[in-house]
Structure 1
C-alpha cells in the first residue's frame, strides 16, 4: 500500500536498501516496541507514539471511543493540566455521578423534562466550578517552551498516534511527559468535550458534502465489517459515550503491549533505551488488542445510493480489494498511479482534458489498511455534465484497463513515481518515523517497506489486466452520487 507523508525536516537521504542496517530495535519486558534511526546531521529528533488501536476495534457499544480518547488524552494528567489535583478529584467524581445520571435519564422515553433540566443545570454548575482547576493546553505549552514543533495527534480506523519534533537535548522531557500521560491520564472535561466532538461531527459530516459522500460510501460498501463506521462515530454513538466506558477502553488497550515508539534524529540509541526503560518500563502491559473477527462477505451485485444535498454534484465509486501483504494490493498501487495520479494519468487526461467532463478526479485506497479495503474513484462533474455521463466515462477507462495491456512507458512511469514518493518520505525524520510505526502496527513488521520496490518492479502489464478484471467489475462496486434535490417546474 502506497503511503505519502508531509515532511518537516530534510536530512541525509536514506534508501530502503540501507534502512535495515540503520534501524535499531528494542522490545521491553512489558511489550513496548521501540524503533530508532540515529541521524545526527541536525540537533533535533522526531518522536511518534503509535497505539495499534483505532475505530476498527470498537464494538456497537462504544463506537467513536478511539477518537474521543484522542481528544481526552490532551486534557492532562494528575500533575499536568491541573492547579490542584487533590482538590479537583472529588469534584470530578461529582461531575461523573451527575453526568451518568443525566445520560441514563435522557435514555428513558418516559423521562421528566423538568428532571432533565434540573440535572443539566447541576452538571453545568459543577463544570463551571471545575474550571478553577483546569489549565488548558498544558502539554502544548510545555513542548512549545522547550522548542517543540508539530505537536499533534490523529486517529484512524487502524491506529492512534501522538507526535512531536523536539531539540535533541529534550528527549528526557518527552519521556517524562509521555510516560506520565500513559500512567496517569485524567479524563477531565469529558461532557464538554463530548459536545465538542458532536459539533465536529456536524461540521465534518452532516453539513459537509464530501464528508457525507464518504460516510454513505463506506457505510454501504461494507455490510458487516467495522470499516463501515465513521471514525468519529455516528451521532447517537457520541451522545451515548460514557466516562466509565471511555476509562475502561483506555485502561484495557492503551498500554505498552499495543504501542510502538519511533525516535528518528539526533539520538543515542543505548541512552534512549535506558531512558525509556526508566520512564516507561514499569507501566503494566495492558491487553493485546483482539483482531477483528468480522469478515466482510463477498459482494454479490452492484450497490447504488443517491444522497440528496444542497451542493455541487459529486460521485464516488468503490471496489472491494485485498490489503497488504496480498500481491493484488501491490498491483493496485500501480493501478492507482496509472488511473488517477497526476496530469498524465488516464482519468485526468480523458475526463478533465479531453472530454472536459469533470473539474476533478481522484483515486485512492480507503478507509483503512489493516483489513481488506476499497479502491475508490471520486469525481466532480463540470457543469452542465451529469454524474451519469461521468460514471460512464470512468467505466470505459476501467474496462480498457482490463482489456488492453498497460504500455511499458506507463508502467515505468508509475513504478518510478512510487519509488520517488517512497524515497521522499524516507528522507524526512517525520516521514520515516511515521512509516516505521505505521507498518509495525498495521503490517506487523516495519520491514514490509524493505522489499516493496522489488515486488513492484516485478509486476507486469498482465498482472495489471488480471487484477483489474478480478476486482474492477460491476458486481463488486458501490456507487454513491450526491445530487441537489430536483426543483419543481
Structure 2
C-alpha cells in the first residue's frame, strides 16, 4: 500500500467540512513564509518523511507579458536560464563576453540589412554571416557546456526541469536535504548574474520547436484557433511565439526582458521537504538578499472585448478530422471558475464523462471526446474537442457536442453525478499534494495567481459548495452561440 505523506493525510481529512478551519491552522503552523527586503518571497514547508527537498521558483512572467516583436521571448529565456553565470559555464568569462558582444554587433548588422527587404545586398549578408559564424566559434572556445545541470546532477538532483505557460515560467528541482545551501548558491547566482551564452544557438533550437509545431495539424489548428478567439488579449498568441519574431530576437532584448520581469519582487520560491525553516531563512538572507530590488511589473491591462458572434476557422489536412469549440470564460479567480471545473468533470473528463459515453461509446461517431476549462490568471476559454471516427464527420460530432451542452443548460445534473464530479475534483487537487514537488507547485500557484496560498484550502470549500443550479447557470451564461469560437481540421480533398 502506498504510504501517504503527512500533507496528503492532512488534506484528505478535509472531506469533512467542519474540520476545515482546524486543518488550515495546522498547515499554517508547519508553513513558514517570509519576504526579503528586496521583495523576494519564500514559502517553506516542513515534510520530514524522507531526506529530500523540492525547490520551485515561480517567475510571474509568461507569454501574456510579451508584445508584438518579441513573442516567444518568455519561452526562449526559460532555455537561457540553464546556460550558467559569470562563474558557471565558462573557462574565461571576460574573453567570452567580448566574443558574445561581437556576435551581437554582427547579428544587429545582419538584422538591419535584412530589414531592407528586396534591397538587401546578398554579398553583404553572406559576409556578415561568415563573420558571425567565426565569432560564434570564438565564443564556443570558452564555454563549459551544461555545467550548471551537471553540478546539480552530480549532487543527486531529480526532476530538474522548467516550463513556460501563458502566465508563468517555473523552475523546479529536488535535491538531498543536505544540499540546500548548494541550491541557494546556484539559484541566486543564476537570477542575479545570468549569462545568456549560446543565445543564437539556443534560439535555433526554439525555431526548430516552432517548425515541429507547424508540422503537426493539431498545433496549427490550435494556433489559428487562438488567433481568432482573441482579438485583443495576448492569449491569442501561442507560447512559442511567431516565427518571424523568434528569428529576430536578440540577446540584448533577452537581457532587457530579464531586467523587467525577473526582479526579486516578481519571484516566489517554495521549498518543501526535510528542512529547518530557520536555516532556510538564514541561507536565503545570505544568498538572495543582495540581489537588487526593482519595481514589480504592472499586470496586463488589455481586456478582451465581449465576443459578438460565432467565429470559425477550418484547416484542410490529411489528418483525422477534429472539431474544437471554445467559449470565453472568466479567470481562475472568478467565483464561477470552480463551477466550470466541476462542469468539466461532468461533461468531458475520462471514460465516464458524458461526452465519452455519448460520442464514443453510444453513437460511435468519435474516437475521443473531452472538455474542460483553461485555468488562467486572465479570462480564458472553456474547450470542447472531439476527434471524428472513421466514416463519420466533424459536422456529426459538432452537433453532438451542442446537444450535450444544451443538456447542461436545460436538465439539472443528478445528485450522484454531481457528487462524483466534485469528489474527483477534490481528489485531483489532493493528489497533486502527494509529492514535495507537487505541493511546492500548488503553493506557488495559489500564492501568486490568487494572492494567498491559503486559497488552496478555500478551493476545496468552493468545490463542496457547487450545486446543480450553479452548473445550469454557468452553462447558460457562457456556452452561448455568440460567445463561441469553432476550429476544425477537415480531411483535404484532392483537386
* TM-score interval for Structure 1 and Structure 2 normalised by the shorter chain: over 0.9
**2:251 is equivalent to residue 251 of structure 1:** no
Q: Which residue, 136, 150, 164 being the options, matches 1:141?
A: 150
Task: Tell me what 1:466 maps to.
Answer: 473
Separation (CA, whole Å) in 2 of partners of 1:94 and 1:62:
22
Superposition map of 1:246-395 within 5 A: 246-366=254-374, 369-395=376-402
- Partner residue, 2:423: 416
Question: How much does 1:10 deviate?
Answer: 5.9
User: By how many angstroms is 1:9 displaced?
Assistant: 10
Task: Compute the TM-score of the two structures, normalised by the length of structure 2.
Answer: 0.95
TM-score by length of 1: 0.96
* Deviation of the 1:22 alpha carbon: 2.4
Counterpart of 2:434 (choices 420, 427, 432) is 427
Query: Which whole-Å deviations, capped at 9, do the CAs of 1:80-109 have from their partners, x for residues lacking one?
Result: 111111221211111111111111111212
Partner of 2:5: 11
Question: Any idea what SS the aligned residue of 2:302 has?
Answer: coil
**In 2, distance between residues paired with 1:444 and 1:240?**
36
3-state secondary structure, aligned to 1:78 = coil
**CA contact under 8 A between 1:76 and 1:186: conserved in structure 2?**
yes
Q: 2:39 aligns with which of 18, 24, 31?
A: 31
Distance 1:429 1:160 in 2: 19
Partner of 1:122: 131
After superposition, give the CA deviation of every residue in 1:405-427 in whole Å (9 maximum; x if it has no partner): 00000000001111111111122
Equivalent residues of 2:345, 2:372 under 8 A apart: no
Tell me if the contact between 1:10 and 1:428 (Cα under 8 Å) persists in the aligned partners: no
1:439-489 deviations in Å (ceiling 9; x for gaps): 21211221221111212211111111011011111111100001232123x
CA distance in 2 between counterparts of 1:329 and 1:304 reads 25
2:61 to 50, 53, 58: 53
Match of 1:398 among 380, 402, 405: 405
Structure 1 unaligned segments of length 5 or more: list them.
1-7
1 CA distance for matches of 2:328 and 2:453?
A: 25
- Residue 129 of structure 2 aligns to a residue whose secondary structure is helix
Aligned residue number for residue 71 of structure 1? 79
Aligned residues: 479
Q: Which residue of 2 aligns with 1:81?
A: 89
User: Hey, what does 2:159 align to over in structure 1?
Assistant: 150
Give the Cα separation in 2 of the matches to 1:62 and 1:420. 40
Q: Following TM superposition, by how much is the alpha carbon of 1:183 offset from its aligned partner in structure 2, in angstroms?
A: 1.1
Q: Secondary structure at the match of 2:440?
A: helix
Distance 1:236 1:9, change over 3 A: farther
Q: Please give the alpha-carbon distance, in whole angstroms, between the structure 2 residues aligned to 1:20 and 1:398.
A: 41
- In the alignment, the residues of structure 2 paired with residue 9 and residue 80 of structure 1 have an alpha-carbon distance, to the nearest angstrom, of 39
**1:479, 1:467 → 2: CA distance?**
19
Contact 2:104 2:250 in 1 (8 A): no
**Alignment RMSD:** 1.4
Q: 1:363 to 1:21 in 2, by over 3 A?
A: farther
Alpha-carbon separation, structure 1, partners of 2:130 and 2:490: 42
Where does residue 196 of structure 1 map in the other structure?
A: 205
Flag the structure with more relative contact order, 1 or 2, with Cα contacts below 8 A and sequence separation at least 6: 1
- After superposition, the Cα gap between the structure-2 partners of 1:216 and 1:123, relative to the gap in structure 1 and judged at 3 Å, is same
CA distance in 1, matches of 2:319, 2:131: 41
C-alpha distance in 1 between matches for 2:302 and 2:309: 20
Once the 2 structures are TM-superposed, how far is the Cα of residue 302 of structure 1 from its aligned partner? 0.6
CA distance in structure 1 between the partners assigned to 2:137 and 2:329 by the alignment: 50
**Offset of 1:341 from its aligned partner?**
1.1
Asked if 1 retains the 8 angstrom alpha-carbon contact of 2:350 and 2:370, the reply is no
Which secondary structure state, in structure 1, belongs to the residue aligned with residue 223 of structure 2? helix
Structure 1 contact 9–428 (Cα < 8 Å) conserved: no
5+ long unaligned stretches in structure 2: 15-22
* Deviant stretches of 4+, over 6 Å: none
SS in structure 2 at match of 1:446: coil
- 1:181 aligned residue: 190
Contact kept in structure 1, 2:84 and 2:148, CA below 8 Å: yes
C-alpha separation in 2, matches of 1:89 and 1:77: 11
